[in-house]
Structure 1
């Protein structure tokens, strides 16, 4: 099945997957408390929300995310389960 991890090519309990209109894949990386974007054709992800392995309740942190929705204007809505909130994250927002 593979190895769990927090590098750009590894995930630790992927929970949800969504695609945008450009073919990018977004993965909810549950135990790494982050959202990874994988550009079309790439196996290396980029953290676009949260931070690898660092849970918390600040704007830049998510805590056990479970769902994501990517809108047509590239806005992400993240279900931040253990912080009891839904985050609205614009593409380009800084971590």
Structure 2
């Protein structure tokens, strides 16, 4: 934890599976109450801490990987809604997005598991809207739209906060994305994409379709 000027303040957490411990944390976000929500990747769970780093609770259990609604399979990214009341978890191994209240209450999901159809790849069919194949990144814009980096489908999908599909881009031309590793959206609508395969940063502009 650092001050805005970069001065180190403190750290929290250690290697393990107990309360306050993590293994391979990959992303964090801040909810509307100032709590820190962390994707605890190798423990297959999401953990919640106070703004000072004190452990509050965990969603999911270490080594209890699965497809059930109370389970995760390598949660990779996490973001909050603009009002801080909803937490979106990228349950990457299950090819889905799970949504919780900031108190940890499960709300809804979309995507997998088993939403990825291998025939799409074999026959080169265009991937279906709202389906994911190895999603690796999440972002949210100032209007609350959710952006999902759909790695193996080489595209970005855009959704409303309730999971309603809006649009997708990238998959029509396989040369546009090699592997989407990160996304961020500026207030002017510019979409910045880290392409891990091409080793580039791309800039896109979202334009609603009439």
> Does 2:83 correspond to 1:85?
no
Structure 1 gaps of 5+ residues are none
Output the CA distance in 1 between the equivalents of 2:89 and 2:14.
25
Structure 2 gaps of 5+ residues are 1-12, 107-210
Aligned CA-pair RMSD: 1.9
SS at match of 2:93: helix
How many pairs were matched up? 92
> Does 2:71 correspond to 1:66?
no
Could you tell me which residue of structure 2 aligns to residue 41 of structure 1?
A: 52
Output the CA distance in 2 between the equivalents of 1:29 and 1:54.
13
Could you tell me which residue of structure 2 aligns to residue 31 of structure 1?
A: 42
Regions of 4+ moved over 6 Å: none
Instruction: Calculate the TM-score normalised by the size of structure 1.
Output: 0.84
Deviations 1:31-74 (A, max 9, x none): 01111000122432410x22222110000001000011122252
Structure with bigger gyration radius: 2
More relative contact order, 1 or 2 (CA 8 Å, 6+ apart):
1
Instruction: Calculate the TM-score normalised by the size of structure 2.
Output: 0.40
Output the CA distance in 2 between the equivalents of 1:93 and 1:3.
26
